[in-house]
Structure 1
């Protein structure tokens, strides 16, 4: 079974501390604790994973992010990526053949992913009591080498 893990990008980025850095791979661009824990979880349990950005869409770990931005899916902003563009990326980046889609984020991503993939994703962190609880679950799962169910 082919599985795809999607992790949210995060507000904190490398350019916050190094403004003149220039483009960096997506896997190094996002520096927040939650994002880093999601990335460790994705690397531990999945062969295929991407970062979901409201500006750039689906980013493979090695893809370059040109620079800093501040955009979230809750914002109604002209720079936000459209559902149509996300769907196009599924083909371009060969992400459309996953049997199972796992999203390491909150339920705010449910509607977006349903529209993009035409089906629901699995949200292992659903029911968590906030960001601290999500971080704890991710940490424990990696330490114990046991996926969150």
Structure 2
């Protein structure tokens, strides 16, 4: 992912493929998260044909082809949970993926991600196009509208 100027970041989500297929082992990150919101986010970034990653409270920064070894039940809201990945660990992942110096970061999630993105990408310009939505239903409606009209949020 070297030389990327603009990076889209989408949240992982609670529903996972193992909820319906517990027999599965490790899967690609692009297949692991099955919730409606996450699926709409993937559809949106694929429609735009942009560079994107998933942010997971357990596994950190995941490219679409990265492997998620198993299910988990964590949220970035669980502040003192030792199983939540640290900012330093995620910054190391960004360095490994050559994404630390991205100039523009577009976070497609709620306001809880603002402080995380600001710590991960302190020098980048940040955009939160879904910020100000009236909840997950409103975010999903806005995403569907953008996808149906093939336009950016």
TM-score normalised by the shorter chain: which range applies? over 0.9
- 1:139 aligned residue: 144
Displacement after TM superposition at 1:96 (Å): 1.9
Q: What does residue 17 of structure 1 align with? A: 20
In the superposition, the TM-score normalised over structure 2's length comes to 0.93
TM-score normalized with structure 1 length = 0.95
Q: Does structure 1 residue 37 correspond to structure 2 residue 40?
A: yes
Mean CA deviation greater in 42-51 or 5-14: 42-51
C-alpha separation in 2, matches of 1:31 and 1:84: 27
Shift of 1:115: 0.9
Q: 4+ runs of 1 displaced by more than 4 Å? A: none
- Aligned match of 1:86: 90
1:115 aligns with 2:119: yes
1:3/1:102 contact within 8 Å kept: yes
Change (3 A) 1:46 1:102: farther
Give deviations 1:96-134, integer Å, cap 9, x for gaps. 232210000001001011111114521000111111110
- Offset of residue 60 of structure 1: 0.3
Gaps of 5+ in 1: none
Measured after TM superposition, the shift of residue 47 of structure 1 is 2.4
Q: Determine the structure 2 residue equivalent to 1:97.
A: 101
Provide the aligned length of Structure 1 versus Structure 2. 148
Deviations 1:7-44 (A, max 9, x none): 00000000011112000000000000000001111111
Q: Secondary structure of the residue that 2:89 maps to in structure 1? A: helix
CA distance in 1, matches of 2:45, 2:62: 14
Deviation at residue 46 of structure 1 after TM alignment: 4.1
